[in-house]
Structure 1
Amino acid sequence: MKALILVGGFGTRLRPLTLSFPKPLVDFANKPMILHQIEALKDVGVTEVILAINYQPEVMINFLKDFEDKLGIKIICSQETEPLGTAGPLALARDKLIDGSGEPFFVLNSDVISEYPFAELIQFHKSHGGEATIMVTKVDEPSKYGVVVMDEESGRVDRFVEKPKFFVGNKINAGIYLLNPSVLDRIQLRPTSIEKEIFPKIATEKQLYSMVLPGFWMDIGQPKDYITGLRLYLDSLQKKAPTKLAAGPHIVGNVLIHDSAVVGEGCLIGPDVAIGPACVIEAGVRLSRCTVMQGTRIKKHACVSSSIIGWHSTVGQWARIDNMTILGEDVHVSDEVYSNGGVILPHKEIKSSILNPEIVM
């Protein structure tokens, strides 16, 4: 089987992290975001992954070459010269997707994190005999989204309603699809939306089905949702593979610590924290609801909460980082500095407190 991952553009919502790496290579729970998807695809027999990309393809491919060998899966790029939306990239990659087997192929949005129930999706898709299957997820406030109206028993999609004023359902498109090759005959090589142009047509022909995604789901393409996604991911890990999580008197709730990280005495870490490779957490540090990326040093008695600390950064002694502060790569926060929602671009030194959310260029 094959899969196409819609990598897209510049990752502006996750800046300043995406100023250093393309968004799919930004760490999430101590591995590049896209690697969570590729590993799950490999587990269900996908042998080739096509990355639909229009930004920094060389960086992506060079980085993923190592994983290609480790996982035994082929990873190739299909590069757009202009943005093609969410359907146009399928037309562009048509020759790469069609192999004569007639097997369906996966299409994924690269921002989506979940438990990736791909085996169940394959089984459901083959059982209903339709042309396409989309995964849907339940939400509390459907009026914010495009809602998928479906037959609850069979899963057949009736129609889509964009930001409904009245309740029509609580399921939204989860950005995970399994499509028959015939879907490609419906798509022209031009900027096209698969959600607004292609799926509604398939639905009117009663060939589109939906499967409710079990477990958690989150689009982690912006910082607030990234932090929420980390909490949901760690909750899931606690249920499915608790031995991967850290334990000890200094741990509160679900915490992921890379084997090469060093944690000093008297720390209190958690809940919902990921500490990456080669990080040093000095004595007396308090961490909660945050990600600390590779090669970072958090100095004595610093406090970090609800924030993302980029690669190879330093947080000084008694510093306090809070309220969705995002440090880019190689940012150095001086001792006793307070950041309340600062967004700091790479290679900066912060010597004075940021009292209100602002971008530091």
Structure 2
Amino acid sequence: MLKAVILIGGPQKGTRFRPLSFEVPKPLFPVAGVPMIQHHIEACVQVPGMQEILLIGFYQPDESLMQFLEAAQQEFNLPVRYLQEFAPLGTGGGLYHFRDQILAGGPEAFFVLNADVCSDFPLSAMLDVHRRHCHPFLLLGTRANRTQSLNYGCIVENPQTHEVLHYVEKPSTFISDIINCGIYLFSPEALTPLRDVFQRNQQERQLEDSPSSWPGAGTIRLEQDVFSNLAGKGQIYVHITEGIWSQIKSAGSALYASRLYLGQYQITHPERLAKHSPGGPRIRGNVYIHPTAKVAPSAVLGPNVSIGKGVTVGEGVRLRESIVLHGATLQEHTCVLHSIVGWGSTVGRWARVEGTPNDPNPNDPRARMDSESLFKDGKLLPAITILGCRVRIPAEVLILNSIVLPHKELSRSFTNQIIL
């Protein structure tokens, strides 16, 4: 019997995802047509013996989250429950705090997945490795180039046994090109080191004799507090994947993740991909169109486009490398490139909404998304364009490399600006 835990964080996280995270919890943001964590859940339910999926985080259980959980349980016929932390407890604190729920029923092992990653989730392959060797901790790793590896948790392995000999989170100098994917398979005994960290934290708080520090006693960081300390002690091993993987830290990386998932749909969900049909819009490459969307026959869509529920796409519209969210309207002959159009927004006739992608170097197979900064030398860097919720763009204007906050009605063109 197996379980899975998805770590979804909370509202004070995901600040780089604004203004999109104002409207919906980041884990529910649609990526390639479905909520971000639905990709995780779909991968988990494919593993034989999966009995329960637990979401751990400190979001308030609002209507959108509860509706998602209910729909997921019905669709996948598997218990999907949310366990709310009393405070942000780090990547390991929630696992220890809810250890009784995780271990209820006696699972042989449990997966732990960070919500803000995009992957093909090779969970069955990880389970095969675990059952052959039964190590307490199995980490999924992939490779990055030397420069970008510094932005991730770096793993030094024994190439024969795949034991993790050394682990450093975001090192200041090059350690290894193997990086942590944020996807794990733990044995029940893996919770013992978490208990040791918790008890050590409590003792330190008591010695400090500072009541204000007590709420932090339950905070456990898997990477720094557990993996770094246990590396080289025969408890942590790594399984390296050659499949797709990316972090989803910002709107730009969500757009890149959408492209990766749309490509995966060729294998996993071909029914989700739009196909060119007589009298329908012209489809180029991988495109997702929600069944309730209305798309004019003369529109040209793709590659790598996702169109949400109730969207209206007018005659002559050109859409490429973009996400159009629930209820948006693209009027006749608009052009939307490398952008995210927010819920209920309207783009006027002959307007152009365009951004600049920050994709990994296509000529480097180990390239990853760079850590995205909005500003350099006091200037807004070129990036994808984001229209927040219910933004109105007038006809015949250009919105280039800009971020428009929700409920704005623009009257002219903007370039390289954040419009408050």
- In the TM superposition, residue 207 of structure 1 has moved relative to its aligned partner by 1.0
Question: Under a length normalisation based on structure 1, what TM-score does the superposition of the two structures give?
Answer: 0.93
SS in 2 for 1:182: helix
The within-5 A match list for 1:117-196 is 117-140=122-145, 141-164=148-171, 167-187=174-194, 188=198, 190-196=218-224
Q: Distance in 2 between matches of 1:197 and 1:34?
A: 26
Q: Distance in 2 between matches of 1:231 and 1:284?
A: 23
Which of residues 24, 28, 32 is equivalent to 1:21? 24
Q: Distance in 2 between matches of 1:192 and 1:351?
A: 49
- In the TM superposition, residue 199 of structure 1 has moved relative to its aligned partner by 1.4
- In the TM superposition, residue 162 of structure 1 has moved relative to its aligned partner by 4.3
Residue number in structure 2 paired with 1:219: 247
The within-5 A match list for 1:300-319 is 300-319=332-351
Contact map agreement 1:78 1:92 (CA 8 A) in 2: no
Matched, 1:204 2:264: no
Which of residues 340, 349, 360 is equivalent to 2:400? 340
- In the TM superposition, residue 251 of structure 1 has moved relative to its aligned partner by 2.0
Residue number in structure 1 paired with 2:328: 296
Contact map agreement 1:149 1:169 (CA 8 A) in 2: yes
Shift in CA distance, 81/126, structure 1 to aligned 2, threshold 3 Å:
same
Shift in CA distance, 52/150, structure 1 to aligned 2, threshold 3 Å:
same
Contact map agreement 2:153 2:171 (CA 8 A) in 1: yes
Q: Distance in 2 between matches of 1:234 and 1:313?
A: 23
Residue number in structure 2 paired with 1:47: 51
**Structure 2: unaligned runs, 5 residues or longer:** 199-216, 356-383
Residue number in structure 2 paired with 1:8: 9
Contact map agreement 2:3 2:107 (CA 8 A) in 1: no
Contact map agreement 2:168 2:224 (CA 8 A) in 1: no
Question: Under a length normalisation based on structure 2, what TM-score does the superposition of the two structures give?
Answer: 0.81
Which of residues 328, 334, 354 is equivalent to 1:322? 354
Q: Distance in 2 between matches of 1:7 and 1:242?
A: 28
Farther-moved stretch of structure 1 (131-140 vs 243-252): 243-252
The within-5 A match list for 1:106-125 is 106-125=111-130
4+ aligned runs moved over 6 Å, structure 1: none
SS in 2 for 1:214: coil
Instruction: In structure 1, give the amino acid aligned to 2:15.
Output: T
- In the TM superposition, residue 232 of structure 1 has moved relative to its aligned partner by 1.7
- In the TM superposition, residue 75 of structure 1 has moved relative to its aligned partner by 2.0
Matched, 1:261 2:289: no
Shift in CA distance, 55/121, structure 1 to aligned 2, threshold 3 Å:
same
Q: Distance in 2 between matches of 1:64 and 1:148?
A: 34
Farther-moved stretch of structure 1 (341-350 vs 205-214): 341-350
Instruction: In structure 2, give the amino acid aligned to 1:39.
Output: E
- In the TM superposition, residue 277 of structure 1 has moved relative to its aligned partner by 2.1
- In the TM superposition, residue 227 of structure 1 has moved relative to its aligned partner by 1.4
- In the TM superposition, residue 253 of structure 1 has moved relative to its aligned partner by 2.1
**Structure 1: unaligned runs, 5 residues or longer:** none
Contact map agreement 1:290 1:306 (CA 8 A) in 2: yes
Instruction: In structure 2, give the amino acid aligned to 1:224.
Output: G
Shift in CA distance, 240/82, structure 1 to aligned 2, threshold 3 Å:
closer
Q: Distance in 2 between matches of 1:327 and 1:72?
A: 36
How many residues were matched structurally? 360
Contact map agreement 2:354 2:401 (CA 8 A) in 1: yes
Q: Distance in 2 between matches of 1:216 and 1:246?
A: 22
- In the TM superposition, residue 214 of structure 1 has moved relative to its aligned partner by 3.4
- In the TM superposition, residue 321 of structure 1 has moved relative to its aligned partner by 0.9
Q: Distance in 1 between matches of 2:388 and 2:78?
A: 31
Farther-moved stretch of structure 1 (329-338 vs 118-127): 329-338
Contact map agreement 1:22 1:56 (CA 8 A) in 2: no
- In the TM superposition, residue 260 of structure 1 has moved relative to its aligned partner by 2.4
Q: Distance in 2 between matches of 1:321 and 1:315?
A: 8
Instruction: In structure 2, give the amino acid aligned to 1:57.
Output: P
Contact map agreement 2:31 2:255 (CA 8 A) in 1: no
Contact map agreement 1:98 1:181 (CA 8 A) in 2: yes
Instruction: In structure 1, give the amino acid aligned to 2:416.
Output: N
Residue number in structure 2 paired with 1:33: 36
Instruction: In structure 2, give the amino acid aligned to 1:235.
Output: G
SS in 2 for 1:101: coil
SS in 2 for 1:350: coil
Contact map agreement 1:148 1:172 (CA 8 A) in 2: yes
Instruction: In structure 1, give the amino acid aligned to 2:61.
Output: P
Contact map agreement 1:156 1:210 (CA 8 A) in 2: yes
Residue number in structure 1 paired with 2:303: 271
Contact map agreement 1:117 1:214 (CA 8 A) in 2: no
- In the TM superposition, residue 347 of structure 1 has moved relative to its aligned partner by 2.5
- In the TM superposition, residue 160 of structure 1 has moved relative to its aligned partner by 1.4
Partner deviation per Cα, 1:112-160 (whole Å, 9 max, x = no partner): 1111111111111111221110101111232333311112232211111
